A and B are shown apart, each in its own frame.
Chain A
Amino acid sequence: GAGVSQSPSNKVTEKGKDVELRCDPISGHTALYWYRQSLGQGLEFLIYFQGNSAPDKSGLPSDRFSAERTGGSVSTLTIQRTQQEDSAVYLCASSLSPTGYNQPQHFGDGTRLSIL
């Protein structure tokens, strides 16, 4: 597609349930990032995938959070046993290979997650 696509755009779920958020990056972009943006806050880095390398998971806030990227393209972010503090907008971004560095990230519209 022309841009980064995320689904669903909105997700409301009960506390304790598991959720899966999907990101389809721009075709040809090898780098993929997940961020979390809480109300009035900046973007909090969660995880970064680059090609076939092991992902950088240093930003994941707890072991309830995990992500995978299949075939170097689509990524899913999974949150298990959701809690109210997980409520936020989850943004996905992709960029061209960082081997050339200085590549801007292109963002999807995000998934707004609300935990009741």
Chain B
Amino acid sequence: EDKVVQSPLSLVVHEGDTVTLNCSYEVTNFRSLLWYKQEKKAPTFLFMLTSSGIEKKSGRLSSILDKKELSSILNITATQTGDSAIYLCAVELPNTGNQFYFGTGTSLTVIP
């Protein structure tokens, strides 16, 4: 069973567009939700969300958690070709030693 579901699976946009990536999870009482960007190799950390309704922002990227809806979104405004990557969402499980469930990711392609 999939505990973390991301949508869409893939997305192709033009430079300058705004995109919204979704992450839904079936884990309750989790400790945190994380977003990663994976280009060719290592996933790189973007955001960690622990509180519902508080937006985290870094440049053109922002993310927010909705614990009531068991979901999170990652927004990217004014997309650039360098934003092309797989975006991974992960949920930190409760009552474990810092273990995470990852979604399958959303593959974003930004066309010039």
Say whether chain B's binding surface is mostly helix, strand, loop, or mixed.
strand
Tier of interface size on chain B: 20 to 34
- The complex places the Cα of A52 from the Cα of B98 at a distance, in Å, of 15
Pick from A35, A50, A101: contact of B31, CB below 8 A.
A101
Tell me the number of A-to-B contacts counted with CB atoms below 8 Å: 64
Contact with B along A3-28 (1 / 0, CB 8 A): 11000000000000000000000000
- The complex places the Cα of A60 from the Cα of B105 at a distance, in Å, of 21
- CB within 8 Å of A: which residues of B? 4, 6, 31-32, 34, 36, 41-45, 48, 50, 88, 90, 92, 96-105
- CB within 8 Å of B: which residues of A? 3-4, 31, 33, 35, 40-45, 48, 50, 53, 56, 91, 95, 98, 101-110
